[in-house]
Structure 1
Amino acid sequence: MIAHYRTLQQLGSAEIIIKKSRFIGFATPVKSEEEAIQFIEKIKKEHWSATHNCSAYMLGERDEIQKQSDDGEPSGTAGKPILEVIKNKGLKNVAVVVTRYFGGIMLGAGGLIRAYTDGAVAGIEAAGEIAQVLHREVCLEIDYTWLGKVENELRNREMRMGETQFTDRVIVTCYPLADEADQFKEWLIDLTQGQGVVRLGEEQYMVHHEFT
């Protein structure tokens, strides 16, 4: 699993008008090619009367899945520019549709490329960019006498925290960066003078807004 990647926060849409044609950009995060296809088909169904519903999506740790569609526009003037926007922004696991309602004025190949580029950018900006960063769950089991010191030290480190469980002992759940988990485990052992029991859990992606 890669340490981090940029993607979209949520479904977003925005409309722009270019020479009387309406271009509506829709952008969303997706987890699979099936989900990307379903999203595109949903937009096509909702905008069945549009002149074109052009699209592109890109998925995978190494961007191994890349698809695009001009949906009837001249070859290379719609799907490719949308895909290029996704690439240039460094986004992963994203699908974008730009819907066009023709306004009666021809744009030419260059005009179409610019229009679909701008439509894709507008949709992506509406969806909001975030970073998904790989963390690892680390659970610390301690006696109650250690809780105050541990909590204070974790606050000082600005550690991402999960649920704290209170039973006969306390179990504190933390989420350090995945590549720092082993070092963090040793730090917890030293902090509690070897009296804490530390368990490493699963890796998972967590949203970071400060990386955008």
Structure 2
Amino acid sequence: HNCYAYIIGDKGDKKKCSDDGEPQRSAGMPMMEVLENQGYFDIVVVVTRYFGGTLLGVGGLIRAYQGALIEGLNASVSGEIHEGFRVKYRFGYDFYGKIKYIAESENIVIEDTLFDETVTISLIFNDSESERLQKKLVEETNANIERLLLEKIKYITVDNKWYKEYR
């Protein structure tokens, strides 16, 4: 049996579960309850059970499926989705050290850096700090910095560290 549950969408508005031939409400729904109670969303889980000759009964099946799911969740890595901005700047080499220091000390993600006649850097700012930090970069470089790109993005952090863009 391959029983599953999923919760998808910003508000968890798409939900579905399946017992895949197990007794009704003995697998999919108990797994869904675990996901809902622990606040998960944008998640799909599948638990596969092979019949080993022992009848578990509905209570045993519920414990088996929930237990397997909880064990899997405990062994997995989950991330948080944040809103922010990708901002690309161009500036002279003499400001690179200062900008790198500000980025590291303010937990701004340095996504990419290109060293050419000038330096082009792509930074990821969290939504709540973006305006303040962009002003700080302009002030610290005496306005010798050119913003090339500003785009709103969603990104994932794992253990409060940048992981990747969320698409």
TM range (shorter): 0.7 to 0.9
| Counterpart secondary structure, 2:129 | helix
2:165 corresponds in structure 1 to none
Of 138, 141, 147, which aligns to 1:189? 138
Shift of 1:142: 1.4
Conserved 8 A contact 2:81-2:154 = no
- Greater shift in the superposed pair: 87-96 or 202-211: 202-211
- The corresponding residue for 1:208 is 158
For 1:208 and 1:154, the matched residues in 2 are separated by 19
CA distance in 2, matches of 1:187, 1:194: 10
* Paired residue total: 160
Q: Distance in 2 between matches of 1:138 and 1:105?
A: 59
Contact 1:178 1:203 in 2 (8 A): no
Does the 8 Å contact 2:7/2:15 carry over to 1? yes
Per the alignment, residue 129 of structure 1 pairs with 78
Equivalent of 1:67 in 6, 16, 29: 16
Percent identical residues = 32
Structure 1 match to 2:90: 141
How far the C-alpha of 1:204 sits from its partner, in A, is: 3.2
Structure number with greater CO (CA < 8 Å, separation at least 6) is 1
Structure 2: which amino acid aligns with 1:102? F
TM-score by length of 1: 0.68
- Unaligned regions of 5+ residues in structure 1, if any? 1-51
Q: SS of the residue aligned with 1:175?
A: strand
Give the corresponding residue for 2:44: 95
- In structure 2, how many angstroms separate the alpha carbons of the residues matched to 1:189 and 1:148? 14
Cα RMSD of the aligned pairs, angstroms, is 2.0
